[in-house]
Structure 1
Amino acid sequence: MGTIHIEGSDGAPNTDYRITVDGDAQEGSDTGGGDDVSDSGVITGGVGAGADTYSYTGTVVSASIPSHATLYVDGQPVGPGDLPMGGGAGSSYTPPGGSGSSSGGSTPTQTPTTPAPTTDSTPAQTPMTPAPATAGLGGNTTLLAGAAALALVAVYMIQS
């Protein structure tokens, strides 16, 4: 079994959290009266200046934790980009900016996010920056090449 630990900070108000595992979860000895574990693996509770600990099997699928709190899975700090993550004996976890350590049960995976396609067919407009004026033909040839390209586009659009 792995451990889930939510640690609050001094002087923080009691704020709700929700963690979902795809296995089983059990309350630890330091959970309070408002903390709960459902049969479907959903852990809910509140944390302020204290801490709550749970045991779990399977994978930590998602977590919604107050900004003043830190989530630890199997003793390692976990950020939103580290979920889902789960236990497997002998696996290792490397916290951001840290060195790997054998945790005996967690390997984070990044869940890639793909932006939703838009239905707007209008392409984004890119602002044009004029070419700098230089002595000789250098700046003028760049300007002339740009003007010629625009003229070709205009001719193509008229013919279409």
Structure 2
Amino acid sequence: MSDNKKKEIKSGVITGLQSTDINVFSGCISQLKKGGKTEDIQVLLDLLLDQKNKEINNLILKFLADVKDKSAVEIITAAISNAKYAAIKKNLLITCWESSLDFGEYLSIFVDCLIHSDFETAFEAFTVIENLTESISDKVKQKQQEKLKNAIAESNEDKKGILHEAIHILDQH
């Protein structure tokens, strides 16, 4: 396929992602699954911010959870840390624990979410920590456990339990 044809298809997909027609949008997501690039994730994250259609949101989140390219981890964790994406942080955390990608390198982001977020979002961050499969260095583990221990005194009763449990989970890694 020629470069011009690829650019034409890519342009059509990006235009189709702006559609509120679920069939058009679904077709574009299918195209991205076949030949999308990691940078397309940023477009989808921005769409999630403005999207009112729950079906379209679900398609985007499912797509993100199914991404296999390891470079997506950095993009997704950057969005979790970015205040611009605060409204979708909980959904992005769910995507992380549903994904087969390993987010272990970004443990500190999930610990910070666990400490500083509302209970529901914190619980999703806890679930990511619980599902980490990559081995974590003792130095990193100790630093994050210390952050969790320091946060316990200032946390409400609901969060104290998951903070303690996160410390225990990190002990097991």
The structure in which a higher percent of residues are helix is 2
- Give the TM-score, by structure 1 length: 0.24
Q: Which has the larger radius of gyration?
A: 1
The structure in which a higher percent of residues are strand is 1
Report 1 or 2 for greater relative contact order, CA contacts < 8 Å, sequence distance ≥ 6.
1
